[in-house]
A and B are shown apart, each in its own frame.
Chain A
Amino acid sequence: MGSNTITVTDGDFQTAIASETPTLVDFWAEWCGPCKIMDAPLDELAGDYSGKLTVAKLNVDENPSTMGAYSVMSIPTMIVFQNGEERRRLVGARSKGQLQAELAEFLNQ
């Protein structure tokens, strides 16, 4: 896992997403191939936009209640939260360029 991202769990999830700084939570699991592909682009995004976007990883195997609360039924799912509210949801693997385009409103603030 990259050095620019943080790990969240069921226990500290609500605290993590409460921030005014947008937090992207990547729902992933060990057995999900496309999730592994997101490691590098998400780590780079977190590094490039440090201070503008926090990137957090949540393992769905170990944290079933958060997964259920947000009806995550497909991974990778990436949800951007701000002030505790869901602002944007992206389902499926994509490149760093696509992430930048789709998350422009958060990254270019």
Chain B
Amino acid sequence: MTEKVVIIGSGPAGLTAAIYAARAGLEPLMVEGMERGGQLMITTDVENYPGFPDGIMGPDLMEQIRKQAERFGTRIISSNVTDVDLSERPFTVRVGSDEYRAETVIISTGASARWLGVPGEEKLRGFGVSACATCDGFFFRDKELVVVGGGDSAMEEALFLTKFASKVTVVHRRDSFRASTIMAERVLNHPKIDVVWNSVVDEVVGDGVVTGVVLRDVETDATTPFSTDGVFVAIGHTPNTKVFSGQLELDGAGYILTEPGTTRTSVPGVYAAGDVADKVYRQAVTAAGMGCQAALDAERFLDHMG
């Protein structure tokens, strides 16, 4: 049996696509993945999603959208996609040993917070390596900390950490911040914050807990050991596109390329919606909007195919 629409991913983009596809009678099959609900499942108060004047918890919002998708007959599989074959139609989507054929595929696998990927980082996660200043700043009272990154979120982390730490050093690979001027200025003028420009962290050092990092100057390649009690990583997100690489056109950072104004990818019949294809807006509501577009694009494609 060939499915009309298979949706991969279950954040706001995937679930909105499911609502529209189901209401159009396309009986969508959703492979929701192990991280059901996506990034909103680890977001507390969502205060900018229309329709919730008092805000809503991320997991509650996702539960409601999921119910709405199920109400119209979306079938949901709670596993990760193992691999896909998009080289011919019907497309093939594999989930472990199960194989599904699909006339159209909507990809909404989202993005994940990025880690440095350097030696020592994974081993010391939770022992001085963190990606959440509001969670973990408390554990570093009167300690010295490193924040890696140059965007708004890195600035927010650094400023927040000054409430606890005696000194915060921001390490950034360029010679200026990408962050908004107001945030960058607050960091540059803060008496507790130093900045190391043109540098990256090559290694996190520590036996049991973090005791330092190895910094590398990207211009000279010179490395320097740097003492610190903690490393906060704020270097953005990476799209979840590993299983699609080589089958769809991706940009240099791994995001799925779509035809402007549509959700059409380089393969006719395959659509992309949400953070997996959007590195500009990255909002729950824009992802939901793209999910709607993808379902309508898929519906139109199926109509034309007869």
Contact = CB atoms under 8 A, between A and B. Distances in A.
Contacts of A35: 135
B291 interface: no
Interface size class of B (residues with CB under 8 A): 20 to 34
A75 B45 CA distance: 18
Interface in A59-86: 60-61, 67, 71-77
A73 B44 contact: no
B77 interface: no
B59 A73 contact: no
Contacts of B35: 95, 98
A95 B34 contact: yes
A84 B41 CA distance: 32
B144 to A, nearest CB: 14
Nearest to A61: B138
Interface of A: 29, 31-37, 40, 60-61, 67, 71-77, 89, 91-93, 95, 97-98, 101
Contacts, number: 73
Given A73-B230, A97-B34, 7 more contacts: A31-B138, A33-B44, A33-B45, A33-B134, A60-B138, A92-B132, A97-B78
Interface in B220-237: 230
Nearest to B127: A73
Contact of B41 (A60, A75, A95): A95
A33 B137 CA distance: 13
A33 B132 CA distance: 10
